[in-house]
Each structure stands twice: as C-alpha cells, then as structure tokens.
Amino acid sequence: MDVTTSAPRGAGPRGASASAPALKVQGLSKTFPGGKGLRDVDIEIAPGTVRALLGQNGCGKSTFIKVLAGVYQPDAGATAEVLGNELSLGSSRGAREAGLRFIHQDLGLISTLDVTDNLSLGSSYANTGWLSGSRERRRAQRLLDRYGIEIDVRQRLDHLSPAEQTLVAIARALGDDDSSAPRLIVLDEPTAALQSAEVALLFGLIERLKAEGNTVMYVSHRLDEVFAIADDVTVLRDGAVVANRPVAELDHDSLVELILGRTVEGIEPGQVHRDAPIVLEARDLCGATVETADLTLGRGEIVGITGLLGSGYEDLLFLLAGAKPRERGTIELDGQLVEIADPHAAVGHGIAFAPADRKRLSSIQGWSLRENITLPRVPTGAGRWLGGRAEHRDVKPWLELVRVRHSANSLLSTLSGGNQQRVVLARWLRIDAKVLLLQEPTSGVDTGAKHDIYVALREAAAGGAAVLFSSSDPEELAAVADRVIVMSDGAVTTELSGGSLTVDNLIRASLAVAPQGERAS
C-alpha cells in the first residue's frame, strides 16, 4: 500500500485569516469533583504544522481533547479561536463546524463490516432511496483516493493491518468535506498498535494532510515519532502547560525531563543467564500464525520477542497461555511435561498471561483494584468468605511493590493506562507466578510509567520469575531484555543477546535482513 504525499495547499475556509493561528486557546481550566484536570492552559498552533501534545498519563491530555471535542464543558473564562474565528468550547457541533476532526485511540470501527460500510458510519449513505452497493463502493473509493490510500473498499476491517485500519478511521473522520478547507486533525495515540514499518504509512498521510494546509495535533508516548513528524511540542504536567517549544530545540533527554519534571535513571542492561535453571521449555509449537517455535526461559531471565505483524510473534504468548488452540507442540515446566488447554490451566501451573488489550482481556474495568488483584486466587478460610478489609490488607503490599499510589477501593477504570498495567502486574506477582507472559506491556503508557514497569519487571526477575514479553518497540527490547527472539514467517529465525542486541539489529532481523555483528546461538 502506498500513500501519495503530493497535494495542492488548500485556500482555506471563507472568513478565515491566512495569518491567524490554526488553534488558539487561552485560560482553559476544567475542574472535576476530585480537583482540577486542566489549569489555565494556553496553546497556539500555527497552520500547516504538526503539534505534538505530550505528558504522562493523567497530565490532562485527554481532558484537553475532550473539551475541544465537546465532550466536557470547560470552566468559565476560557476562550478559543480557529483560524481567527471564535470556537465554542464544549460544543461538539461547534467543533465540527470549525473544522476540528478527532481520531481516537479506540478507532470506533466495526471489524465485521467492510471498508465501505465503516466509512459510512457516523454520516450517511450516498443514496436516500434504494441502497446501491456499487454506488456506495464508488463513493468510498473516491474518499480513499482523495487521500492517496490504496485499500480495497470491499475488504472486511478484520482483514486489514492495524495501520490500514487507522488510515480508514482518518479518512472517515475527514469524510466528504471540501478538501480546500483546512482542518485541525487530532490524532490520539494513532501508532499504539502499529509496527515501526507501518508507522511510515501513517506519516505519509500526515505529510499529505499538511500539504493540503491542514494542521495536526499528534498525541503519542513514542518520543522517536515526535522527533520524526512534529514541528513543535506542547508538554502538559499536572493539568498545566510547562512547555511550548519547537522540536528542533530539544533532544530526547531534555524532552523526557520536560515531561517528567525530573531526569530518569537508566535501566541496568540485561545479561544472558546461561547457567540459570530452565523454567519453561516449548518445542515445535504450532497454532494461529505460528508455524513452528522452540524456546526456553531460565529462572530470573527477561526475554523479549518481536517480529512484524503476521510473523507469529503476536500469537506465541497466546499459545503458551492456552488462550489460542495449539495444533501441536509440547510445553515443559521445571522439566515436567504439562498440558495447558486454557488460561485457567496455565494459572494453575504458575503461568500468568497479560494480553495487551487491558480493557477487554486483562482486567475488569468496573471492579476495584483489590478485586482485580485477588481475582486469580481468592484466599481461602473459614466458610471460604473473603471480607473487604482482609482483601484490602492482602493487596496493599502488592500495590506498594508496583508503586501504585491509589486506594485499593478505587475503580480500575479511573486509573491511567500505566497504573492499570502495574495493577495487572501486581495481580500476577501476588500469585508467585513462575512465568510472566506479557504482551506489549507498555502500550499506551507514558515515559515515566514505562520506567516504573521496567523496574517492576527487573524486580520480578530478581525474585526468580521468568519473564517473556512481546514488544514492537526495538528501543524497549534492547534496553530491557536479556535476550530477544525474532520471528518471521511463523518461525523463530534469530536470537540476539549481548553485543548483538542493538536497535539496528532488531530492525534488520525483523525485516529478515541478516543482523550485523555476532549472532547469539
């Protein structure tokens, strides 16, 4: 698939000033019952630029976007303009009429419908009488063609890659608008589920939108993307703007310090545990996208696994945890052959699995922290009754261990993504799991929370657990893992450790190019 980037610059909407900011917000505050979500936020974005909106989870990014989108009403006194025209904050209709378009991390697409039907969601079909499938497909194709997106509109959404699904969501948000009218497009974590190679497709579309005169607000925790695509950054901390700066004035360390308000200590590099007792050994695993996979995990070892989507790496953890059916292969724990037909059996054998989809597969959002943590193993006693006070005492040390500073009675849904992930980790540490299987453990997690999760993984490994985590982030893999397994075409093709475990070699191995330097056996 290709995204064409050449396009004429738009003339702008009627009444817009050519020299006016694409967005100007002054004195924006938002107060919730528990405190202020935003405090006197001032932001000014130049037309035709990409502005990165950064900050830790809970800093106010989502609140700011929801005020712009009309989901939240701001406190009195805030003003906003779009290209010199007044914007009514807290009004979804006003935002739409002003040219604001929002693509959220949850794309809001329906996987069982085709591209044509998904593009019609939220608007209408072209014909007000008899519905013509061919007419709707032509309309959908014209919309994709406008933005240089080469996707078959007859394809079901679940047959597209995550990158292609993101492009469909962007095209739907832009819709059949007059392309000569510049818009402000808000992209909230658009690459959270994308591989590095797929990010280029999205960046191509962003460049095209800029060429048409559009402005992009880009929310991401991946700082390498910020340096690659953004012109300027706005950093929020505790609901207030702490920086509005050109990207050219910053480097990675200075940007991290702006986000956190402090420097971050480095993670100790991993080491190969050649003499560690083998905890888990899998042979000839086959199922889903995995054709054949052999691997071993040693006690106290952190092993990463990666590859391109479709390589098998995204399904291997599911096979090990019994969450997807295995066609063949064996699994041994501490030298004993075990049968793991489902996740319940895996937990019984001391294998914990945390899928990347926290909201659907890793937690119960409407339950409290203590209920989520005790879920896999409820303490037994007289009458097998667990009281709230006893449960609270049980989970308190585990919340402290993973540095979650919230009441055990808090609903999980009220926590940031980073804190939710640490609660999931606390659940499995509590049952003293032998093996931790973690899929994309820092997906959608801010820079500071990532560091805390890395530290928690190191501490879990130091306590004797074997950790196997999948990640699409080569920098994360190189920094955290003792060794990394790379998959391609459903099989393990490369293992990197020591001096050969570098970002460049991980990317080369994922693309099936021979890594430079020593290859670990």
Contact 271, 303 (CB under 8 A): no
Among 7-11, 480-484, 504-508, the minimum mean pLDDT is found in: 7-11
Structure confidence at residue 456 as a pLDDT band (50, 70, 90): confident
Is residue 364 domain-shared with residue 471, that is, in the same domain? Answer: yes
Q: What pTM was computed for the model?
A: 0.61
Is residue 428 domain-shared with residue 469, that is, in the same domain? Answer: yes
9 in a structural domain: no
Q: What is the mean pLDDT of the chain?
A: 83
Between 260 and 95, name the one with better pLDDT. Answer: 95
Is residue 245 domain-shared with residue 370, that is, in the same domain? Answer: no
Contact 295, 343 (CB under 8 A): no
62 in a structural domain: yes
**pLDDT of 8:** 35
515 in a structural domain: no
Q: What is the pLDDT of residues 494-512, one digit of tens each?
A: 999 988 998 878 877 876 5
Q: What is the pLDDT of residues 266-281, one digit of tens each?
A: 555 555 566 789 999 9
Q: What percent of the chain has pLDDT over 70?
A: 85
Is residue 187 domain-shared with residue 164, that is, in the same domain? Answer: no
Structure confidence at residue 182 as a pLDDT band (50, 70, 90): confident
Among 91-100, 131-140, 156-165, 511-520, the minimum mean pLDDT is found in: 511-520
Mean per-residue pLDDT for 453-467? 89
* CA dist list (Å): 160 to 111, 163, 191, 201, 291: 9, 8, 15, 13, 21
Q: Rounded distance, CA 79 to CA 150, Å? A: 40
Is residue 234 domain-shared with residue 329, that is, in the same domain? Answer: no
519 in a structural domain: no
Is residue 248 domain-shared with residue 306, that is, in the same domain? Answer: no
> Quick check: 11 pLDDT over 50?
no
> Quick check: 25 pLDDT over 90?
yes
Q: What is the pLDDT of residues 302-345, one digit of tens each?
A: 999 998 767 889 899 999 999 999 999 999 999 999 999 999 99
Is residue 487 domain-shared with residue 344, that is, in the same domain? Answer: yes
Nearest to 115 by CA among 191, 214, 216, 1: 1
Among 154-158, 176-180, 402-406, 516-520, the minimum mean pLDDT is found in: 516-520
1 in a structural domain: no
- Domain count for the chain, please give it: 3
Q: What percent of the chain has pLDDT over 90?
A: 40
Contact 100, 186 (CB under 8 A): yes
> Quick check: 174 pLDDT over 80?
no
Between 99 and 512, name the one with better pLDDT. Answer: 99
**pLDDT of 379:** 58
**pLDDT of 213:** 87
Structure confidence at residue 290 as a pLDDT band (50, 70, 90): very high
Is residue 291 domain-shared with residue 360, that is, in the same domain? Answer: yes
Estimate the share of the chain in helix, then strand, then coil, as percent rounded to the nearest 5: 35, 25, 40
Mean per-residue pLDDT for 290-307? 94
Whole-number CA gyration radius for the chain: 24
Q: Rounded distance, CA 39 to CA 6, Å? A: 40
CATH number for the domain harbouring residue 399: 3.40.50.300
Mean per-residue pLDDT for 116-134? 67
**pLDDT of 130:** 53
Is residue 331 domain-shared with residue 217, that is, in the same domain? Answer: no
Between 288 and 148, name the one with better pLDDT. Answer: 288
Q: Strand 302-307 to strand 290-298: parallel, antiparallel, or no bridges (unpaired)?
A: unpaired
265 in a structural domain: no
Is residue 367 domain-shared with residue 481, that is, in the same domain? Answer: yes
Is residue 144 domain-shared with residue 73, that is, in the same domain? Answer: no
Contacts of residue 110, defined as CB under 8 A and 6 or more positions apart, other chains included, come to 117, 118, 121, 157
Which domain covers residue 150, as residue numbers?
A: 106-176
13 in a structural domain: no
> Quick check: 283 pLDDT over 90?
yes
For helices 447-462 and 252-260, the axis angle rounded to 10 degrees is 90
> Quick check: 39 pLDDT over 80?
yes
Neighbour tally for 127: CB within 10 Å: 11
**pLDDT of 364:** 92
Would the CA dihedral through 331, 336, 342, 343 be positive or negative? negative
